[in-house]
Structure 1
Amino acid sequence: MIKQGLLEFWAFGLKQAWACLFGGYLLALMLVSQYWYPFTTLHRYDFLFLAALAFQGLLLALKLESPREALVILVFHLVATVMELFKTMDGINAWAYPGQAALKLGNVPLFAGFMYSAVGSYIARVWRLFDFRFSHYPRRRWTLLLALLAYLNFFGHHYFWDLRWLLLGAVAALFWRVDIYFKVKTEHRRMPLLLGWLLVALFIWFAENIATYCKVWLYPNQVDGWQMVGIGKLGAWYLLMMLSFVLVSLIHRPQAPAKVKAALLSRLCGRFLPAGHRRP
């Protein structure tokens, strides 16, 4: 029994690593290029952008990502770039990119959007690899509305109230009944979706610390010397996780587990079939 559990845990880790392929590749590039960068005529950010673009093309060519998943990743890139342009403009300066780049918009190197795309790539791949199923998943229109409000708050809190905690409460209220079912080997395991998002948001927070340590971008309090990103940033990453999940749900429709479908079918049959046609 213990051996079987360890084997399943090992398989879980391997699948997670495979799902993180794009994000892991970007982090590796950041670390290596921080300590060894041999190209004198190519800015580091431009190299990172071209390397990320080539890797994305390779994933498509090898059919490790579908065209529909690539489309969602492109949407991530565009949505993230708009937010980056706002966050780095004069007067906001939420963070900054300290290096030079020829391929950039405003103060934002084009590479920046790929860091968010990595999150979208991970969710799309892990959804497929673990054959996700959900119980009590809310209606799409409510999830889309909540995702839109979270996105708008990333801009609006610089001018109005920061509704982050109110939005986190709304996320908890909308998704508190949702369980995610994931298949490691043969059978589906269950976890509260809110807990799953927290674990991934925590992982992104760790990755953010690595990226800022490599000086890919810097927060104002890191300009004179690196220090860890505050744990309070976890709330923003949690909302981003919810937003990312909702976007990916547009191509991977949330489905109920087989036993939930069977229960619903049984209830429908019991409600609409004549008594003589019902199962005893």
Structure 2
Amino acid sequence: MRAGLETRDELKVITLFHLIGLALELFKVHMGSWSYPEEGYSKVLGVPLYSGFMYASVASYLCQAWRRLKVELIKWPPFWAVVPLAAGIYLNFFTHHFWIDVRFWLAGLVIIVFWKSWVSYKVNGTLYRMPIALSFVLIGFFIWIAENIATFFGAWEYPNQTEAWSLVHLGKVSSWLLLVIVSFLIVASLKLVKGKDAVRATTSQSF
């Protein structure tokens, strides 16, 4: 914040994502979904504290892109549809270990809820736009590429990588896709609430 990279509100969002990500990491490592085999001084229950920063970096990217690219939401769904969907996606990361995995049902709901939603952004003064669902897929895919790089250099490993490194299963794209959706929905909801508060403050001052 002192360096001017993030505002105070963005720092709050990034901190929130760090805690959300760390909670998910602690659970997933405990369940054996992946592991951090290297020794470390900052490990808690087998999870290095930096793992939370990986999720926070996604939030940081979204906040930076929102501000620098002048992101605008077009036909954004109502809160009563967005909030339960985000909560359901996040909870499924935990509950599928004990119950059925409903990620594909949730993905279908995402398509239905955001069928008419678009995002607009500016690059070098030129306005572009794309379907929200497509932006989810693209961000999730590039995170999957980054995950392959990270596992190759031993940042963490999946059970099938204990003997020798192998490409992260393409199915992991769906996990990152859903995580990106949760991240985007939280950031978008907070931005919209902040925007409404700013409008109310301006309106009250004018009177």
Q: TM-score, normalised by structure 2?
A: 0.90
Equivalent position of 1:185 in the other structure:
124
Equivalent position of 1:30 in the other structure:
none
Give the deviation of 1:254 after TM superposition.
8.4
Instruction: State the alpha-carbon separation in 2 of the partners of residues 248 and 214 from structure 1.
Output: 30
Matched, 1:230 2:163: no
Given residue 69 of structure 2, which amino acid in structure 1 is its aligned partner? F
Equivalent position of 1:35 in the other structure:
none
Secondary structure of 1:252's aligned partner: helix
Matched, 1:197 2:136: yes
Equivalent position of 1:210 in the other structure:
149
Equivalent position of 2:66 in the other structure:
127
Matched, 1:74 2:15: yes
Instruction: State the alpha-carbon separation in 2 of the partners of residues 220 and 226 from structure 1.
Output: 10
Query: Which runs of 5 or more structure 1 residues have no equivalent in the other structure?
Result: 1-59, 256-280
Equivalent position of 2:26 in the other structure:
85
Given residue 177 of structure 1, which amino acid in structure 2 is its aligned partner? K
Equivalent position of 1:107 in the other structure:
46
Instruction: State the alpha-carbon separation in 2 of the partners of residues 254 and 78 from structure 1.
Output: 21
What is the root-mean-square deviation of aligned Cα atoms in Å? Answer: 1.4
Alignment map for 1:149-164 (pairs within 5 Å)? 149-164=88-103
Give the deviation of 1:135 after TM superposition.
1.6
Structure 1 residue runs of 4+, over 6 Å off? none
Contact kept? 1:87, 1:93, Cα under 8 Å: yes
Given residue 119 of structure 1, which amino acid in structure 2 is its aligned partner? V
Secondary structure of 1:82's aligned partner: helix
Instruction: State the alpha-carbon separation in 2 of the partners of residues 104 and 71 from structure 1.
Output: 24
Deviations 1:76-114 (A, max 9, x none): 11011111111111xx20000011122222111101100
Count of paired positions: 194
Matched, 1:240 2:168: no
Secondary structure of 1:238's aligned partner: helix
Deviations 1:153-179 (A, max 9, x none): 001111100001000001110011101
Instruction: State the alpha-carbon separation in 2 of the partners of residues 237 and 122 from structure 1.
Output: 15
Contact kept? 1:95, 1:219, Cα under 8 Å: yes
Equivalent position of 2:113 in the other structure:
174
Instruction: State the alpha-carbon separation in 1 of the partners of residues 42 and 174 from structure 2.
Output: 31
Instruction: State the alpha-carbon separation in 1 of the partners of residues 79 and 44 from structure 2.
Output: 33
Given residue 99 of structure 2, which amino acid in structure 1 is its aligned partner? F
Q: TM-score, normalised by structure 1?
A: 0.67
Instruction: State the alpha-carbon separation in 2 of the partners of residues 199 and 227 from structure 1.
Output: 22
Query: Which runs of 5 or more structure 2 residues have no equivalent in the other structure?
Result: 195-207
Contact kept? 1:134, 1:254, Cα under 8 Å: no
Instruction: State the alpha-carbon separation in 1 of the partners of residues 74 and 17 from structure 2.
Output: 26
Give the deviation of 1:185 after TM superposition.
2.5
Instruction: State the alpha-carbon separation in 1 of the partners of residues 160 and 142 from structure 2.
Output: 22
Given residue 154 of structure 1, which amino acid in structure 2 is its aligned partner? F
